[in-house]
Structure 1
């Protein structure tokens, strides 16, 4: 089932919500920083803008896309989680990034699990993958903690990326 309208999801500590203009400064700063090195970055503002618009447009085009996640109690935006496909990815990807200072507290796990589960339950997706830079050890551990398994036979958008496959259940 396609969902043209981005959902707002809640977990024990987080609110996952659609991107808004006020997210742009932190989003573009993240992509311009060294923290984006595992996403082929750092990126210039024009590339960051393309990513931002793509993350929003995928909801209308495909019924999935990106959500920002924030700590519900404080309202502090902590990062992003996304289900993305489009012409750049061979398969539907579950991806994430976390802003500086928000790592190591399980926020990315909580947000990624919530969006992945929403995709399985609401979209009826049979599976998705995460494309991960082999040097991104934190994301590898997160994918494994989410229950994903490495799929060395799967095609990746970058031949150096590792592919982790998420299945329901």
Structure 2
């Protein structure tokens, strides 16, 4: 179910601001995608591939009514990662995805951002279901999906044969 094109929202939690992407977010994003931290997303990625991903993360809002937001600490203004509801030809279903920059782990930031994005997907975007595609070796992301209440859905379509699918809410499409 495609959403209507929309401008990216700004969402907030007590500690975080989830805001639209800006051009000055590119250097930190590129560094993450070039690092070993990107291995669970199919990386590390060369600059050209990472740039395409960065642009697609933003363009989804205009084309598909969802996309990526940057995770920013409200107190410091420091950008610490990205949260997204992804769609389009690379994703069999709307997908909740997250990544944190080095040093942002272990403080509940990903969980807080992901819960806020889940709330947006359910309450504002009115998505009937949402999944996360997670590399089987990514134990931290698997734990986060489970902490958010998602359960593995072995029958769900997946972008890659080794991806695990965690369903956050709702039934799969077509049921």
2:107 corresponds to: 105
Q: How far did 1:56 drift?
A: 0.5
- Secondary structure of 1:27's partner? helix
1:83 corresponds to: 85
Provide the rounded CA distance (Å) in 2 between the counterparts of 1:126 and 1:146: 17
Provide the rounded CA distance (Å) in 2 between the counterparts of 1:3 and 1:80: 20
1:95 aligns with 2:97: yes
Provide the rounded CA distance (Å) in 2 between the counterparts of 1:3 and 1:15: 22
2:173 corresponds to: none
1:73 corresponds to: 75
**RMSD, aligned α-carbons:** 0.9
Provide the rounded CA distance (Å) in 2 between the counterparts of 1:157 and 1:68: 23
Q: 1:56 aligns with which of 52, 55, 58?
A: 58
1:33 aligns with 2:35: yes
1:159 corresponds to: 161
Q: How far did 1:2 drift?
A: 3.1
1:30-60 residue CA offsets vs partner (Å, 9 max, x unmatched): 0000000100000000110010000000000
The count of aligned residue pairs is 168
2:100–2:110 CA contact under 8 A, matched in 1 = yes
- Give the TM-score taking structure 1 as reference length: 0.97
Q: Which runs of 5+ in 2 are unaligned?
A: 171-175
1:128 corresponds to: 130
Q: Which runs of 4+ in 1 moved over 3 A?
A: none
1:82–1:115 CA contact under 8 A, matched in 2 = yes
Q: How far did 1:3 drift?
A: 5.3
